[in-house]
Structures are given as structure tokens and as C-alpha cells.
Amino acid sequence: MFIPVFGNGDIKTPEKAKLYKETYGVDGIMIGRASIGYPWIFNEIKHYLKTGEHLPAPTMQERLDAVKQHIDFAVKWKGELVGLLEMRSHYGNYFKGTANFRDYRSQLVRKGTLEEINEVLYNIEQEFLVQ
């Protein structure tokens, strides 16, 4: 009988996933916190395990698309007030490592309506995407 064994807990990088696979021979890996605001981690790890190469970091367009989709789901599920309040804990992760982003992040965590958030996102697009 085959009983699959999964490794989990504090796996936050492709290197650590590889180490778990190689050290413990696990059949699969579960990832929790590292995926919060960073859904790209799953593909990054799969790609690294297959090729030994790192995928490039997500682009600003990809980050914006993901955060907009998350906002859309959050508002549909929880309503505008609660959905946007909950989103406040995610913006930092979605845009982690983006230079000159602090002011936009602080705007995102202060605004209370979808209209205001969309305006901030529009300004981010204008600064980071439009040439």
C-alpha cells in the first residue's frame, strides 16, 4: 500500500522545498503562509524542482492583475467594507520588493471604498506601467 507523505511548515523558498524533497523524500509539499499575497510561489517551486532554475519575479502587471482579482473576490464574498478591510493585510505582500512603493501602500491601507482603491490602483498603473 502506498501512503503518500507530505512535508510542510515554513517552506518559503524553492531551495527549501528542494531540501525537503531531497532530505526527507516527501511525495508532496504543502505551502501556507508563503502563498499569502504571493500566489506565484507554487509555480516558482514547481519550476525550480523541475529545472533547477528560478523563474523571474512577477511583473508589475501580474501583481496588479492578481491584486485586482483578489479585491474583486473579497468584495463579492465579504462586501465592500469588510472585503477592503481584509485586503489591507495583503497589499504589502503583493507589492513586496517594489521600489518607491511605500506611499502607494499607505494609501491602499487607508482608503475605505472601492472607488478610492481603484483610483490608487489607476495611479499605480500610470506610474509603473504607462511609458
x/- track of binding to ligand FMN for residues 33-52 (CB under 6 A): xxxx----------------
Residue 9 touches ligand FMN, criterion: CB under 6 A: yes
Q: State the minimum distance, in angstroms, from the CB of residue 118 to ligand FMN.
A: 25
Q: Please tell me whether residue 8 adopts helix, strand or coil conformation.
A: strand
Q: Measured from the CB atom, is 94 or 128 closer to ligand FMN?
A: 94
Q: Nearest-CB residue to ligand FMN?
A: 32
Distance in angstroms (rounded) separating the CA atoms of residues 95 and 80: 22
Determine phi and psi for 28, rounding to 5 degrees.
Answer: -160, 170
Are residues 114 and 80 in contact, defined by beta-carbon separation less than 8 angstroms?
yes
CA 26 to each of CA 35, 53, 54: distance values in angstroms, whole numbers, following the listed order? 20, 21, 21
Q: State the minimum distance, in angstroms, from the CB of residue 39 to ligand FMN.
A: 10
Residue 17 touches ligand FMN, criterion: CB under 6 A: no
